[in-house]
A and B are shown apart, each in its own frame.
Chain A
């Protein structure tokens, strides 16, 4: 199964908002409310920032929010900060009872 589709890169200035999309099919993103998002800084393990499409774990900034429409999930980061510069990955449960990641998006804070 191919990876979920994410833009390779996005950028924004401090204080701005950006949105990262994650497109799948009715067999994964569109079929279940089990989409999660991870932030990964270079050389570090990924960190969970959103699960079940829009739920923020305890301790994650409210500047991170998630949503879904049809087969596309989205991660929005508001009031960008320098430390938000990282790679972001989406993940979805699938009809085959497997899990699938997106290809990853590199966020650059200008």
Chain B
């Protein structure tokens, strides 16, 4: 069974850092594109970052230079390192699998205040 489980969300002050994790099971992190998507309270979905084959990465303009996506194949886990956090980064952060986001985690809440 495919599962994605996010963790690491917390309350952090502006300018601070946080690392989110997404532990996956039922597939390997090296075999699929993996993406972070966020949703601010009461707002819509926003694509944040994707890691592709060969560890090629891309980022939304709003986070480029501050966030870093990576994966650890030995731990079968996806990460999102978030630095220089701003109030408008407050959101539920989801990890999702594949080019079409066919499986999602339950989300982890990041509050910057």
Contacts and interface: CB of A to CB of B under 8 A. Distances in A.
B58 interface: yes
B87 interface: no
Contacts of A48: 100-102
B35 interface: yes
A38 B45 contact: yes
A51 B45 contact: no
Q: Which residue of A1, A3, A57, A98 has the most chain B CB atoms within 10 A of its CB atom?
A: A98
A31 interface: no
A97 interface: yes
A99 B44 contact: no
A30 interface: no
A36 B98 CA distance: 12
B101 A57 contact: no
Contacts, number: 50
Interface in A5-55: 34, 36, 38, 40, 45-48, 51-52
Interface of A: 1, 3, 34, 36, 38, 40, 45-48, 51-52, 57, 87, 89, 91, 93, 97-104
A99 B51 CA distance: 12
A1 B61 contact: yes
Contacts of A1: 61
Contact of B47 (A34, A40, A100, A104): A100
Contact of A45 (B46, B47, B58, B105): B105
A34 B101 contact: no
B100 A51 contact: yes
A34 B46 CA distance: 17
Given A45-B105, A47-B104, A99 B35 contact: yes
B14 to A, nearest CB: 25
Nearest to B6: A45
Contacts of A100: 47
B60 A36 contact: no
